[in-house]
Chain A
Amino acid sequence: MGTDAIETASATADAGDQHSGGSFAGSARRAVPIVGQYVVSIAVALGLCAILVSATGGSASRVFAALLDGSLRSPGAWGLTITTATPLLVVAVGTIVGAKAGMSNIGQEGQLLLGAAAMAFIATRLDLPGPLLLTVSFIGACAVGGLWAGLAALMKFTRKVPEVISTLLLIFVASQITTFGLTRKWLLLAKENTSRTNNGEPLPDAAKMPSLNIFGNQVSWGAVIALVLTAVVGVVLARTTIGFRLRMLGLNPRTARRFGVSAVGVGGGALMFSGAAAGLGGGLWLSGGAAGDRFTGAISSSIGWQGLLVALLAREKAALAIPMAFVFAGLRTGSGFLAATGVDRRIADVVQAMLVLALLIPPAIEALQRRRSGSGAAA
């Protein structure tokens, strides 16, 4: 009785509320310290960045002003930030689905690259009206990204290759494939390549994502697709039987197997979904216009990696991925303005990395607390 009571008491005090998610009072009570943690850790990161910038001869205030100008304040800036956030959000949402099912896909960069390649291949070959061409191209991008992740699923379930390793290594294969594709006109290379590097054919206008004009900001319609996808994924995970079975598989695969959840079907499906989302992210990134008007070998430019980070920082919550994707996109667009301040590009990268670390600290603290309360209950 005593031990039981101890378990109950310590779990109630420390961990119980974090799991339940049931009562509003509980979620409000724990939201306050978490917001506080974010504020403190970001403030500390900014302070350290200021010291670093000053020490290397720059002006900290100008650096932060440039970051804000680039991401939000200058004309049209936040529209560009939202357009950049779109593929990050789509990649992150797919990653969350995989993670919920216990699948650690970390090969989004490659899946996204191949998705963009598929989009470019289809869009430059089919002569279809705008919406139809986009739809077909996006389906192609999803299919290629999904099948690429499917290779990892195949290796996992037939040869027990951990998907963390296979998805990661498949990035390099994907990169080689697109590089080869850019050397052949029948694949990806432009008919008349004028650049010194091998680039793809410019997309036809029909394959460019239309934009919404909001207060002088061009916001890609892709953002709407990303938000709808996020909402659908959030609802499916929380409110449907397939979402329930997927979460069960991720939290306790043995219990899930006993109750008929197939690791191959549901787990493999979730892994392929995350690949398909990354592929779609590639399609949206290419058609959104922020990365130029044609496919290049460097087009993914870490969007896949950053989407993975967004999912990590959102702590597997689809809704939280929206602000996180925006913050990351802001850092990307904002750092474009840093060059004008005369600060070394590498210092700018350090600033960006420090802010990412700062965003990682509150979830890390939460995980530590949960583990500590867990071991306390065991004793």
Chain B
Amino acid sequence: MTDAGFDTPEGARADGAANVGDSSSTPTVRLSRITKRYGAVVACHDVDIDLTAGRIHGVLGENGAGKSTLMKILIGLIQPDEGLIILNGRTVTVADPLAAADLGIAMVHQHYSLVEPLTVWENVLLGERVRLDRRAACERVATISDRYGLGVDPLARVSGLTAGQRQRVEIIKCLRREPRIIIFDEPTSMLTPAESEQLFSVLRTAVVSEDRTVALVSHKLDEILHATDEVTIMRGGRVVDRVRTSRATASSLAQAMVGRPVSLRSEAAALGLIDAAAAMAIGDVDGDGDVDGDGHTGNAAPIVLEMRGATIVGPDGHKLLDDLSITVRAGEIVGLAGVEGNGQRPLADALSGLLDLDGGSILVHGIAIDPTRPGALSRAGVGVIPEDRHDSGCVLDLSVAENLTLGNLGAISKRGVLDRNAMEARAIELMKAFDIQARSPHASMGSLSGGNQQRVVLARELSARPIVLIAAQPTRGLDVGAIEYMSERLRAAAASGVGVLLISTELEEILTLAHRICVIHEGRIIGEMGHHEADLERLGLMLGGVAA
């Protein structure tokens, strides 16, 4: 029997998880028959969801399953087309996030909104219409920090904090208003495993001892299984299942989320299952026997990409890359693991010829390439799947056919005149080979879905027959099917002799794909290990900056 409400914060919570859907339990928040349409597409279809005080409620689903839309409706960022929001038995309208705050609803977003040059207490006060009282504000921050064991210094400057610490500042910003309902949107995407662990214990404190309601939105099975009391699974805009977490297994959740039986082993990365990924030996992947042995022959294969002592100094004098050296051999997938913001982006930009090195060199097949010459790296055979394809991977206002060409104009032109027919023929061929869904080769790149845009980038880079392929966060934002496809293509590319440098913040992805793992921290490589000697504990330490 749960009797949750603002009036009874000390409500009994002995069983931890009452029956979901038990009519006798009164949810704090009930979203009833919510529907949200975008044109012809229904993002949320007749969704019912109950959040009960004193529990952590997981909302699980693939990218685009409608879970973010649902949470944005609760926080007032989006208005539903149909349906009701019922708070403690009262129907409410949440016009905007300010109204949500008045109702005691707060959200910790996936991407932080902190002002870097300001200190923690200043950031916490931002947006408040109160008199600036430094001492009171600092005390307040310190109190909250102590209560939840957050360990945040109110006088620290945000620019000097790690991603995990920044998230804790966001949590303080959120908790300061004493919300009854807190939504966490993909909270671990920027955290190390240890930091995630800490976050979940903070959540537990906030929920159990203070009877708050927490919704944890995620696409990672591990954290849903680990941190929640009950879970609602969404697929294609509908709720497909509600279960008590203690009764769920990884495979039952995965099947409900994807809508078909899945192999936890081969799709571990896509599902966010770190242990399964770590346990999996590279050669075990079904249907990818070609990868076998590459891990062993790697040392004999020629080095196709070498970065020697690469150093890049940022505009503020801070070193983005600090004497970084890394090698990739033909046929090898090197996984570069690291917490977001430790130099992955400058590294990928340098290898794309978009950022000049302040020191060091880049060698392709042993030949030094001058990265300041536009296109030099591309001509030398360095293909790139960039982290942000809209930034440097495609041109949204050009057609699919043109985007499949970009650097490869020689094949579809004669004496400087474009051969439109050849361009179209080539595009149709690649669209077929890479299963790109577009109305026609002339459709604008901007009209394609994210997954299909990524396939266009992949098709173009692979069809140029690269010597090295840099894949930076290649599966970010893709659904499970698309992630599997990308993984297969990367394996196949390596099997055909391409040296692949996989830059990823998803440890699961690195563990499933890479033959060799390097860890980047603050712009330098602080550790390296073969896949077979991969040790999660050691990896976790290195991600946090401890050379182990």
In the complex, chain B residues whose CB is within 8 Å of the CB of A240: 413, 416-418
Residues 436-457 of B, flagged 1 when their CB comes within 8 A of A and 0 if not, give 0001101111111111100000
Are the C-beta atoms of B65 and A6 separated by less than 8 Å? no
| Total count of chain A residues near the partner, CB < 8 A | 44
In the complex, chain A residues whose CB is within 8 Å of the CB of B396: 19, 251-252
Q: Which of the segments A242-250, A281-289, A345-353, A358-366 contacts the partner chain?
A: A242-250
User: Is residue A20 within 8 Å, beta carbon to beta carbon, of the partner chain?
Assistant: yes
Interface residues of B in 393-452 (CB under 8 A from A): 393-399, 402, 405-407, 409, 413, 416-418, 420, 439-440, 442-452
Are the C-beta atoms of B440 and A22 separated by less than 8 Å? yes
Interface residues of A in 88-109 (CB under 8 A from B): none
Shortest CB-to-CB span from B185 to chain A, Å, is 14
Are the C-beta atoms of A259 and B406 separated by less than 8 Å? yes
Shortest CB-to-CB span from A353 to chain B, Å, is 31
User: Is residue A21 within 8 Å, beta carbon to beta carbon, of the partner chain?
Assistant: yes
User: Is residue A120 within 8 Å, beta carbon to beta carbon, of the partner chain?
Assistant: no
Are the C-beta atoms of A22 and B399 separated by less than 8 Å? yes
Q: Describe A's contact surface by its main secondary structure.
A: helix
In the complex, chain B residues whose CB is within 8 Å of the CB of A13: 39-40
Bound CA span A18–B443, Å: 10
Shortest CB-to-CB span from A166 to chain B, Å, is 23
Shortest CB-to-CB span from B496 to chain A, Å, is 23
Of all chain A residues, the one with the shortest Cβ separation from B409 is A241
- Which of B69, B416, B444, B451 is close to A20, meaning CB atoms less than 8 Å apart? B444
- Which of A9, A239, A263 is close to B374, meaning CB atoms less than 8 Å apart? A263
Bound CA span A107–B394, Å: 31
Are the C-beta atoms of B398 and A251 separated by less than 8 Å? yes
Are the C-beta atoms of B407 and A258 separated by less than 8 Å? yes
Interface residues of B in 440-487 (CB under 8 A from A): 440, 442-452, 479
In the complex, chain B residues whose CB is within 8 Å of the CB of A15: 444, 446-447
Beyond A3-B450, A254-B391, whether A9 also contacts B442 by CB under 8 A is no
In the complex, chain A residues whose CB is within 8 Å of the CB of B374: 256-258, 260-263
Beyond A1-B236, A5-B41, A259-B375, whether A247 also contacts B417 by CB under 8 A is no
- Which of B64, B78, B409, B445 is close to A2, meaning CB atoms less than 8 Å apart? B64
Beyond A5-B449, A10-B38, A242-B416, whether A258 also contacts B399 by CB under 8 A is no
Are the C-beta atoms of A376 and B406 separated by less than 8 Å? no
Bound CA span A263–B397, Å: 19
- Which of A8, A261, A379 is close to B448, meaning CB atoms less than 8 Å apart? A8
User: Is residue B269 within 8 Å, beta carbon to beta carbon, of the partner chain?
Assistant: no
Bound CA span A203–B448, Å: 58
In the complex, chain B residues whose CB is within 8 Å of the CB of A241: 409, 413, 416-418
- How many pairs of A and B residues are in contact by the CB < 8 Å rule? 156
Best-surrounded residue of A6, A11, A18, A256 (most CB of chain B within 10 A): A6
- Which of B65, B236, B354, B479 is close to A257, meaning CB atoms less than 8 Å apart? B354
- Which of B69, B442, B444, B451 is close to A4, meaning CB atoms less than 8 Å apart? B451
Beyond A255-B392, A255-B394, whether A379 also contacts B78 by CB under 8 A is yes
Best-surrounded residue of A4, A12, A18 (most CB of chain B within 10 A): A4
Bound CA span A239–B402, Å: 12
Bound CA span A13–B39, Å: 8
User: Is residue B384 within 8 Å, beta carbon to beta carbon, of the partner chain?
Assistant: yes
User: Is residue A7 within 8 Å, beta carbon to beta carbon, of the partner chain?
Assistant: yes
Shortest CB-to-CB span from A156 to chain B, Å, is 16
Best-surrounded residue of A5, A9, A252, A258 (most CB of chain B within 10 A): A258
Are the C-beta atoms of A258 and B39 separated by less than 8 Å? no
In the complex, chain B residues whose CB is within 8 Å of the CB of A194: none
Residues 9-34 of A, flagged 1 when their CB comes within 8 A of B and 0 if not, give 11111011011111100000000000
In the complex, chain B residues whose CB is within 8 Å of the CB of A376: 38
In the complex, chain B residues whose CB is within 8 Å of the CB of A255: 391-395, 406
Shortest CB-to-CB span from A131 to chain B, Å, is 29
Are the C-beta atoms of B407 and A259 separated by less than 8 Å? yes
Beyond A241-B409, A254-B391, whether A2 also contacts B236 by CB under 8 A is yes
Bound CA span A101–B402, Å: 16
Are the C-beta atoms of B65 and A2 separated by less than 8 Å? yes
Are the C-beta atoms of B418 and A20 separated by less than 8 Å? no
Are the C-beta atoms of A258 and B38 separated by less than 8 Å? no
Of all chain B residues, the one with the shortest Cβ separation from A263 is B374
Of all chain B residues, the one with the shortest Cβ separation from A14 is B39
User: Is residue B237 within 8 Å, beta carbon to beta carbon, of the partner chain?
Assistant: yes
In the complex, chain A residues whose CB is within 8 Å of the CB of B375: 257-261
Bound CA span A257–B452, Å: 23
Beyond A5-B449, A244-B409, whether A20 also contacts B443 by CB under 8 A is yes
Are the C-beta atoms of B450 and A4 separated by less than 8 Å? yes
Bound CA span A20–B406, Å: 17
In the complex, chain B residues whose CB is within 8 Å of the CB of A19: 396-397, 399, 444-447
In the complex, chain A residues whose CB is within 8 Å of the CB of B448: 7-8, 11
In the complex, chain B residues whose CB is within 8 Å of the CB of A23: 440, 442
In the complex, chain B residues whose CB is within 8 Å of the CB of A245: 409
Are the C-beta atoms of A248 and B406 separated by less than 8 Å? yes
Beyond A1-B65, A6-B43, A259-B406, whether A248 also contacts B398 by CB under 8 A is yes
Of all chain A residues, the one with the shortest Cβ separation from B77 is A379
User: Is residue B379 within 8 Å, beta carbon to beta carbon, of the partner chain?
Assistant: yes
Bound CA span A244–B403, Å: 11
Bound CA span A189–B443, Å: 58
Residues 98-141 of B, flagged 1 when their CB comes within 8 A of A and 0 if not, give 00000000000000000000000000000000000000000000
Are the C-beta atoms of B447 and A20 separated by less than 8 Å? yes
Bound CA span A92–B58, Å: 59
Shortest CB-to-CB span from B254 to chain A, Å, is 16
User: Is residue B63 within 8 Å, beta carbon to beta carbon, of the partner chain?
Assistant: yes
Of all chain B residues, the one with the shortest Cβ separation from A257 is B374
Shortest CB-to-CB span from A15 to chain B, Å, is 6
Bound CA span A22–B444, Å: 9
Bound CA span A81–B78, Å: 54
Are the C-beta atoms of A9 and B41 separated by less than 8 Å? yes
Are the C-beta atoms of B384 and A260 separated by less than 8 Å? no
Of all chain A residues, the one with the shortest Cβ separation from B38 is A6
Beyond A16-B447, A21-B442, A258-B407, whether A10 also contacts B39 by CB under 8 A is yes
Best-surrounded residue of A7, A18, A376 (most CB of chain B within 10 A): A7
- Which of B65, B416, B449 is close to A7, meaning CB atoms less than 8 Å apart? B449
Of all chain B residues, the one with the shortest Cβ separation from A4 is B449
Are the C-beta atoms of A244 and B418 separated by less than 8 Å? yes
User: Is residue B62 within 8 Å, beta carbon to beta carbon, of the partner chain?
Assistant: yes
Of all chain A residues, the one with the shortest Cβ separation from B442 is A22
Are the C-beta atoms of A1 and B38 separated by less than 8 Å? no
Bound CA span A8–B352, Å: 29
In the complex, chain A residues whose CB is within 8 Å of the CB of B479: 1, 4
Of all chain B residues, the one with the shortest Cβ separation from A239 is B418
Best-surrounded residue of B352, B374, B417 (most CB of chain A within 10 A): B374
Of all chain B residues, the one with the shortest Cβ separation from A2 is B64
In the complex, chain B residues whose CB is within 8 Å of the CB of A242: 416
A-B contact pairs, 21 of them (CB 8 A): A1-B65, A1-B236, A2-B69, A4-B479, A7-B450, A19-B444, A20-B440, A21-B442, A240-B417, A241-B409, A244-B405, A244-B409, A245-B409, A248-B398, A252-B392, A252-B396, A255-B406, A258-B384, A259-B375, A259-B406, A262-B374
- 9 tightest A-B CB contacts, nearest first: A260-B375, A22-B442, A19-B444, A4-B449, A259-B407, A3-B64, A16-B447, A2-B64, A11-B447
Please report B residues at the A interface, Cβ cutoff 8 Å: 38-41, 43, 62-66, 69, 78, 236-237, 352-354, 374-379, 384, 391-399, 402, 405-407, 409, 413, 416-418, 420, 439-440, 442-452, 479
Please report A residues at the B interface, Cβ cutoff 8 Å: 1-13, 15-16, 18-23, 239-242, 244-245, 247-248, 251-252, 254-263, 374, 376, 379
